[in-house]
Amino acid sequence: MSLPRIAVDAMGGDEGVRVMVEGAALARRRHDRFKFLFVGDEARIQTALKNHPNLSGASEILHSDGVVADDDKPSQVIRRAKKTSMGMAIEAVKSGAAGAAVSAGNTGALMAIAKLALRTMQGIDRPALAARLPTLGDNDVVMLDLGANTECDARNLVQFSVMGAAYSRVVTDQEAPRVRLLNIGTEETKGTDSLRIAAAELKEAAEALSISFDGFTEADKLCRGDVDVVVTDGFSGNIALKSVEGTARFVADLLRRSFSSSLRSKFGFLISRPATELLKHHLDPNNHNGAVFLGLNGIVVKSHGSASAAGVANAVAVTAKLLEENVTERISADLARVGEDGLRMNHSSDEDEG
């Protein structure tokens, strides 16, 4: 059964058309139900498609002269959004010409355009950026927000928890995801007023939400594998994510340096190569590519700008999974089950800076 086609901003990312088309082709070889609408320079897209006959028959092209640059400010892009490949891809979702959009372009611009065009879902105040991180457990951990909202109140954190749990069910098949709020300690007295209020609300609503909630977790536990969803504000989430990514690169570089330091080390590398290759695969961000803007009336997925074709294929697979599992409808259903009585916080809860 075919899925609604996926609109691909072919001009985003470090390498643009080549990698985006190659990634889509790889995804289609794995799942032939995928169909695509490529948005961007028609001539370049047609040239790239010639190398992937399996993709050509399942693709259409929507020409666009405009491109969103990495250094463009969101406020500037908004004015010309509908003439850019990014804006046209999102507009295709709004009009129903596509079921979802994927872009490797400017994150801030993508968020701004998507929010303006698609609007937030009923019951959600702010959309959040969610991504999966590798863990020592069997499943990845879903973390949000990763930068869309630098300041959040308790109500936002509860809504993020609802969205994160729905996303986790889609990608991990866990019926009752283990949800935790990121904090500076696990004690109930730690953290801001917003965190404590959100924790109290989530404990009360846990059964209705079909989640397992047990308070807080700390940043050093993010990748242990004992949590399925970690919720925080975008400021803290972005810092935590980049710290995890930086540590992974540090470990990889340190191992590379150690194994090349002497003849004995090089011999040791040959012996341990299967283990190091497994580590490299586990830490490769391409294997976890595809951050999702949750809370919009439509599915928008952000691929890393430096993603390889394999990384883009993973982002496409995430997009298709979200379409197939109707994640937007799931979030709406979860909010309806709790009802307004279950989300009692108001926006005065952000008076928590003490």
Among residues 314, 323, 308, which one has the least CA distance to residue 288? Answer: 314
- pLDDT at site 274: 61
User: Into which CATH architecture does domain 6-118 fall?
Assistant: 3-Layer(aba) Sandwich (3.40)
Q: pLDDT 10s per residue in the chain (354 long)?
A: 567 899 999 998 888 899 999 999 999 888 888 899 999 999 999 999 998 988 988 899 999 998 888 888 888 888 888 899 999 999 999 999 999 999 998 888 999 999 999 999 988 999 999 988 888 888 888 999 988 888 899 999 999 999 999 999 888 878 899 999 999 998 988 889 999 999 999 998 888 888 999 899 999 888 888 899 999 998 998 898 888 878 777 777 777 777 677 776 666 656 655 655 555 555 566 677 888 999 999 999 999 888 889 899 999 988 988 988 888 888 888 887 766 445 554 444 444 443
Instruction: Indicate the domain borders of the chain.
Output: 6-118, 128-285+333-350
- pLDDT at site 254: 76
- pLDDT at site 284: 63
Residue with structure tokens 């040959």?
A: 270
User: Into which CATH architecture does domain 128-285+333-350 fall?
Assistant: 3-Layer(aba) Sandwich (3.40)
* Residues 212, 214, 218, 220, Cα dihedral to 10°: -50
Domain 6-118 shares a fold with domain 128-285+333-350: yes
- pLDDT at site 338: 65
- pTM higher than 0.75, yes or no? yes
- pLDDT at site 333: 84
Contacts of 262 (CB under 8 A, 6+ apart): none
Beta bridge partners of 216: 181
Helices (H), the chain: 17-30, 42-49, 53-56, 74-78, 85-95, 107-118, 154-172, 193-209, 234-259, 263-283, 309-324, 327-338
- pLDDT at site 143: 93
- pLDDT at site 209: 86
- pLDDT at site 343: 53
Residue 177 in 3-state DSSP? Answer: coil
